[in-house]
Amino acid sequence: MAQSDERTTDPAKRPADSFTRRHFLELIGAGAIGMAAVGSGVLSTEYLSPNVVKEPPTRFKAGMPESYPPGSVTLDKEQKVFIVRAKEGYFYALSATCTHLGCIANWKAEEGIVACPCHGSKFDREGNVIAGPAPRSLPRYAMSLDDHGQLVIDKALVVGEEATLKV
Amino acid sequence: MKESFRALTRSQAWRSVFRHGLPLSNRTRAEAVFYNFFLHVHPTKVRKRSVKFTYTWGLGGLSAGLFIVLVLTGALLMLYYRPSVQQAYGDMKDLQFVVSSGQFLRNMHRWAAHAMVAMVFLHMLRVFYTGSYRPPKEFNWVIGVILFVFTVLLSYTGYLLPWDQLAYWGISVGTNMVRSVPFGLGERISYLLLGGNIVGENALVRFYVLHCFVLPVAAMVLMGIHFWRVRKDGGV
């Protein structure tokens, strides 16, 4: 019986679930296109994400401790950091970037608070949220003294609330 | 006069462009539409109701017209604007105060952009209130929604280009919103969008390319499909 032969060329006489040469080639073709699509997707994402970015360094010098009077909050606009000196004389560095959507907050000396101009978030001088949509308090950055006694702040290192620099 | 016109319409050059006769009979009138690239999108039949101005208010056409205004004025603005941190703001100011008609073109681009957002939105309202999103036109509504998103994205990417305080903080806030996408994807998308961690040189060039090439081309393709489907469904 020629009809039951697996190798028949007439598709109508073939069993429905048979794996034919056509299926095999279709699978190879679809696989190759799929691999090329995934590969070009991955490579495009890689291309779009720069390996080297020319961004300002996260570590910067903030001058001599004597230039900050006790009880002062000073905004470094360039670095987007508050250099806070408590009444007791110790230092800490607060991020000036609002934790809501990234605007630069300002120190309001007359009210003694940090206020963001964009959506009205308010923080106390310790960086804790007291009003507005900000979800987190302002992070503190690591602060140290270099060999010449200058303040050095590293924005890549976020430290806890207990971290202060006594000079 | 009449003779020279007749001679012109009989010339080989004329007949190769307009392959039908003068629209004097029903047949040639129909051919004038069928054989014209710009007219061939017309539907073969139109309901009387949908030709009425107060049915559509011409809002889709106004949106498309504003898009053309934006492409033309935008191409002209590109001649004097360079997307670099050093030059962008100065080039924008030069367009306003130094380049002849620069202020006019920049304002035209800006107002047309505002108007396009309004027109697309009103067009969407009209389509909603006339129920024109109903079967079999659901998919065209979906394309329309994507086109609305593209319109807003075009406005947003254009917002950064003057590189002033408004632009800088607008984009800072917007990309910080992207950061809140869950599963750690937010940071990744924001990095790809800005080409870095801050709104800087890479971000400016990326937004420029999106604004002047990627988004307009994508919008044009979708507009082609959108209009074609409107015509096929008997709309105007």
On whether any CB of chain B is under 8 Å from the CB of A45, the answer is: yes
On whether any CB of chain A is under 8 Å from the CB of B173, the answer is: yes
Whole-number pLDDT of residue B15: 86
CB contact under 8 A, A48 and B202: no
- DSSP character string of B161-229: TT-SHHHHHHHHHHHHHHTT-TTTHHHHHHHHHHTSSSSSHHHHHHHHHIIIIIHHHHHHHHHHHHHHH
CB contact under 8 A, B197 and A45: no
Give Cα separations from B186 to A41, A57, A119, B174, B193 (angstroms): 19, 23, 21, 12, 10
Whole-number pLDDT of residue A14: 67
Pairs of residues, one from chain A and one from chain B, whose beta carbons lie less than 8 Å apart: 32
Continuous segment of H or E residues that includes residue A142 = strand A140-145
Whole-number pLDDT of residue B21: 78
pLDDT at A3 over 60: no
Give Cα separations from A96 to A80, A87, A142, A155, B230 (angstroms): 5, 20, 14, 11, 52
Whole-number pLDDT of residue B116: 97
- pLDDT tens-digit profile of B129-162? 999 999 889 999 999 999 999 999 999 999 999 9
Give Cα separations from A59 to A103, B103, B195, B217 (angstroms): 21, 43, 21, 42
- pLDDT tens-digit profile of A60-87? 998 898 889 988 999 998 889 999 998 8
pLDDT at A41 over 80: yes
Nearest by CB to residue A103, choosing from B173, B188, B198, is B173
Please list, in sequence order, all residues whose beta carbon lies within 8 angstroms of the beta carbon of residue B134, skipping any fewer than 6 positions away: none
Residues of A in contact with B177 (CB under 8 A): 101
Whole-number pLDDT of residue B46: 77
Q: Which of A16-25, A120-129, B216-225 has the lowest mean pLDDT?
A: A16-25
Average pLDDT over residues A9-30: 82
CA closest to A135 among chain B residues: B180
Helix, strand, or coil here: A70? coil
Q: pTM score, two decimals?
A: 0.81
Residues of A in contact with B176 (CB under 8 A): 101-102
- In 3D space, the residue among B45, B39, B61, B35 whose CA is nearest the CA of residue B226 turns out to be B61
CA distance A162 to chain B (A): 28
- Within 10 Å of residue A167's Cβ, how many Cβ atoms? 15
CB contact under 8 A, A50 and B202: yes
Q: What is the ipTM of this complex?
A: 0.71
